[in-house]
Amino acid sequence: MSRAGFIHYDNTEKLLQVGGEWTLEHYIALNRAIQQLPPAPETTRLDCSNLGKVDFNTASLLADYLGSPQLDKLLPHAQGLTTDQRDIFASAVQATQTTELYTAKPSFSAVGLIAQLGQNVSNQVHQLVLLLNFIGDLVLTCVAVLVRPSRWRVTAWFYHMQQAGLAAIPIVSLMAFLVGAVVAFLGATVLTEFGATVYAVDLVAFGFMRELGVLLAAILLAGRTASSFTAQIGAMKVNEELDAMRVEQLDPIELLVVPRLLALLVMLPLLGFVSILAGLAGGAAVAVGSLDISWNQYLSILNEVPVRHFWVGMSKAPFFAVVIATIGCLEGFKVANSARSIGQHTTSSVVQALFAVILLDAIAALFFMEMNW
Amino acid sequence: MIQPAETILSMRQISNRFGNQMVHQNLNLDVYRGEIIGLVGGSGAGKSVLLRTAIGLNKPDTGEIILNASPIGVLFQHGALFSSMTVAENVALPLIEHTRLSRAQALHLAQIKLALVGLNQQAGEQYPAELSGGMVKRAALARALIREPDIVFLDEPTAGLDPLNAAAFDRLIKTLSKALGLTVVLVTHDLDTLYAICDRIAVLADKRIVAVDTVAKVVANPDSWIQSYFHGPRGRAAAHAARKEV
Ligand SMILES: Nc1ncnc2c1ncn2[C@@H]1O[C@H](COP(=O)(O)OP(=O)(O)OP(=O)(O)O)[C@@H](O)[C@H]1O
Ligand SMILES: [Mg+2]
């Protein structure tokens, strides 16, 4: 029953007729009709006697067409216009006065590309400065807290040890066990050709003690814990909780970062150790199960591995812990105040933490090799 | 004011509970087409929950809701603008998704809607996180109105606005309601708004609607909570101001 909206212009009478239902469903048709009309007509009269319902969207269409000043002039003596309709047109006139036609921005240009490059470089520098700043702050706070037992946040510390450490033991063990089995199979495949299948056990033992045990645990924490640190702190930032802390003269680094860092410092070596055991177990399962190496033989090969390899591996754990906790927390602080930003920084935190852990491991491997340890 | 008889929203015997906390118990409310109805009640009385129930976002434990309107517009208490889009894109989104308008047309209409609620082009190009609290409210109102809905639900629209803008907001809602036949369900603590634009007022207390009538009649209701609400110092000042204006 709703009559479609129409608009008609009589050039000789300089009369603009509008009528029918001027509602959102007829917007596209009306817009098309208006484009057929002569642009910027010198209308002197407006006839609205057949006009039904007018909504704000279509009213602004007319205002755009005639220009707000002209429509404003026509409104007081428009034919057949009810007060309600006049109010709508009047608000449309007011609103369009301050609005320019929407124009899409150009999305690509060579200058823009160079500007973007410069922006990226200065951004990266800024990020580096932030990181160094944060590490400095963190070290100072850590020292200040450690010398004063009254400021130890034991509850938070235990909580994060539980969340980041103990809760990760099952997944770390499973992962290390599987990787241990894979390495044993791999070793067996290559070494059987030389008739040296027994050395597959050495491969697993050396590999897990020196490198894989702690590295696997660190990679898992980089994915599991760095992201959760970022999301936790980021959500607090969005909720203005960090600002509230500062107002209350509480130090977010002391309250939030130090317990997390200390928790990882304790738990990552522990997880590394669990991971080594699990990896060795995985190797043993393959060796005993399908390589015809007896359990006693396996143990005696393990016994001959010099223990310094174990310590070389474990010595990396605290460094990984610092890197993961620092990156996770710092990314949390970088969150701007929106939900989207939490997502971006969580991703970035995981990527950075993984990269940093692997880079650090590579540097350590070079160093230990040069030192002949 | 003559009351149009057609109900657009009818809530019958609504009960809501969270855990063992009862928020509503056997609550009844009718809203008529074209009216502006104000919902008042103390903080935590369950006004926002009632709005969410009416819209269908919250399923009541018992009771029946009939809402004869589509589309509907909602202004959430905290704005709920989509943080990944600019303000103008937020407002244009319903048009882009639900009509065949082109993106440019939709954005243009969005900018005009924003101007209507008093936000300029620059604000339209910003992200919600960059706006002040009051600006978020206005942008959210623009989004609620963009599809010309039959009914809008406004949760504390004027909280966080300066008095001038709050008054302009009131006038805007009144104009739209009268001219478009828009039904407005309005939660507010702003007594000036209640006196200035509401056709009827519903009072939520004791887990139910204890009174629903014109301002004058509700104010005269002997219920003790209503008496202290409308006859406290702020209530008296607003009533005084409203009388002066008439
Ligand atoms: N998701 C939820 N889970 C548990 N309890 C809730 C939930 N949402 C609301 N409540 C409870 O329901 C009650 C009513 O909340 P509601 O947000 O509706 O209050 P309100 O009347 O809007 O108050 P205000 O004026 O402060 O906005 C409160 O006591 C609140 O604790
Ligand atoms: Mg509320």
Per-residue model confidence as pLDDT tens digits over A258-277 = 999 999 999 999 999 999 99
ipTM of the complex: 0.71
State residue A153's pLDDT score.
86
DSSP letters along A80-140, please? Answer: T--HHHHHHHHHHHHHHHT-PPP-PPP---HHHHHHHHHHHHHHHHHHHHHHHHHHHHHHH
Domain with A63 in it: 6-101
* Nearest CA distance, B58 vs chain A (angstrom): 23
Alpha helices in chain A (DSSP H): 27-36, 56-66, 68-74, 83-97, 110-146, 154-160, 169-191, 199-206, 213-238, 241-247, 252, 258-290, 295-303, 308-314, 317-334, 339-371
Are residues A85 and A216 located together in one domain of the fold? Answer: no
Q: Taking CA atoms, what residue in B is nearest to A340?
A: B84
Contact A93, A63 (CB under 8 A): yes
- Name chain A contacts of B84, Cβ cutoff 8 Å: 338-340
Q: How far is the CA of B156 from the centre of ligand 1 (A)?
A: 14
Query: Which band of pLDDT confidence, cut at 50, 70 and 90, is reported for residue B164?
Result: confident
Are residues A94 and A161 located together in one domain of the fold? Answer: no
A349: buried, middle or exposed (CB in 10 Å: 19+, 13-18, 0-12)? buried
Please indicate whether residue B41, judged by its CB atom, sits closer than 6 Å to ligand 1.
yes
**Structural domain includes residue A115:** no
User: Is A96's CB within 8 Å of B115's CB?
Assistant: yes
Q: In what order do the strands lie in the sheet with B208-213?
A: B72-75, B151-155, B183-187, B36-40, B200-205, B208-213
Report in angstroms the alpha-carbon separations of B202 from B37, B38, B215: 7, 6, 9
Rounded CA separation B149/B146 (Å): 8
State residue B81's pLDDT score.
86
Q: Does B73 touch chain A (CB under 8 A)?
A: no
* Nearest CA distance, A68 vs chain B (angstrom): 12
Tell which residue, B103, B100, B168, B149, has the closest CA to residue A56. Answer: B149
Contact B232, B78 (CB under 8 A): no
* Nearest CA distance, B176 vs chain A (angstrom): 7
Residue for token digits 């008529």?
A: B32
User: Is A85's CB within 8 Å of B179's CB?
Assistant: yes
Q: Taking CA atoms, what residue in A is nearest to B145?
A: A56
Please indicate whether residue B43, judged by its CB atom, sits closer than 6 Å to ligand 1.
yes
Residue for token digits 């959210």?
A: B140
Contact A184, A291 (CB under 8 A): yes
Are residues A222 and A309 located together in one domain of the fold? Answer: yes
User: Is A99's CB within 8 Å of B115's CB?
Assistant: yes
Q: What is the pLDDT of residues A49-107, one digit of tens each?
A: 888 888 888 888 888 888 888 888 888 888 888 888 888 888 888 888 776 666 656 66
- List b or e across A1-26, with b for residues whose CB sees 16 or more CB atoms inside 10 angstroms: eeeebbbebeeeeebbbbbbbbbbeb
State residue B92's pLDDT score.
92
**Structural domain includes residue A146:** no
Rounded CA separation B33/B36 (Å): 9
Residue for token digits 């490059």?
A: A117
Rounded CA separation B38/B154 (Å): 9
Are residues A278 and A365 located together in one domain of the fold? Answer: yes
State residue A159's pLDDT score.
93
Are residues A203 and A296 located together in one domain of the fold? Answer: yes
Are residues A290 and A160 located together in one domain of the fold? Answer: yes
State residue A342's pLDDT score.
93
- Name chain B contacts of A84, Cβ cutoff 8 Å: 178-179
User: Is A84's CB within 8 Å of B178's CB?
Assistant: yes
Give the pair of three-digit tokens for residue B132: 């002040």
Q: Which of residues 202-261 of A touch B (CB under 8 A)?
A: none
State residue A101's pLDDT score.
60
* Nearest CA distance, B177 vs chain A (angstrom): 10
**Structural domain includes residue A341:** yes
Q: Which amino acid residue places its CA nearest to atom 3 of ligand 1?
A: B18
Are residues A169 and A284 located together in one domain of the fold? Answer: yes
Q: Does A344 touch chain B (CB under 8 A)?
A: no
Q: Taking CA atoms, what residue in A is nearest to B122?
A: A99
Helix (H) or strand (E) holding B132: none
Rounded CA separation A258/B44 (Å): 37
- Residues in chain A with pLDDT values less than 50: 1
- Name chain A contacts of B120, Cβ cutoff 8 Å: 98
Q: What is the pLDDT of residues B27-81, one digit of tens each?
A: 999 999 999 999 999 889 999 999 999 988 889 999 999 999 888 899 988 888 8
**Structural domain includes residue A121:** no
**Structural domain includes residue A352:** yes
Are residues A235 and A295 located together in one domain of the fold? Answer: yes
**Structural domain includes residue A122:** no
Q: What is the pLDDT of residues B169-222, one digit of tens each?
A: 888 888 888 878 899 999 998 888 899 899 999 999 999 999 999 999 998 989
3-class DSSP assignment, residue B82: coil
- Name chain A contacts of B175, Cβ cutoff 8 Å: 87-88, 91
Q: How far is the CA of B75 from the centre of ligand 2 (A)?
A: 11
Are residues A209 and A327 located together in one domain of the fold? Answer: yes
3-class DSSP assignment, residue A350: helix
What percent of chain B lies above the pLDDT cut of 70? Answer: 97
State residue A2's pLDDT score.
61
* Contacts (Cβ under 8 Å, ≥6 apart) of A356: A222, A323, A324, A327
User: Is A56's CB within 8 Å of B128's CB?
Assistant: no
**Structural domain includes residue A138:** no
State residue A100's pLDDT score.
66
Are residues A241 and A356 located together in one domain of the fold? Answer: yes
> Final residue of a domain: which of A70, A101, A132?
A101
- Name chain A contacts of B108, Cβ cutoff 8 Å: 99, 101-102
Tell which residue, A102, A37, A98, has the closest CA to residue A66. Answer: A37
* Contacts (Cβ under 8 Å, ≥6 apart) of B49: B16, B23, B24, B58
Number of domains chain A is built from: 2
Contact A33, A22 (CB under 8 A): no
Q: In what order do the strands lie in the sheet with A45-54?
A: A6-10, A15-22, A45-54
DSSP conformation class of A75: G
Rounded CA separation B8/B117 (Å): 25
**Structural domain includes residue A107:** no
State residue A197's pLDDT score.
82
Are residues A275 and A195 located together in one domain of the fold? Answer: yes
Are residues A175 and A324 located together in one domain of the fold? Answer: yes
Q: How many A×B Cβ pairs under 8 Å? A: 84
Report in angstroms the alpha-carbon separations of A295 from A201, A285, B201: 11, 9, 83
> Final residue of a domain: which of A101, A136, A167?
A101
- Its pTM stands at 0.72
State residue A1's pLDDT score.
44
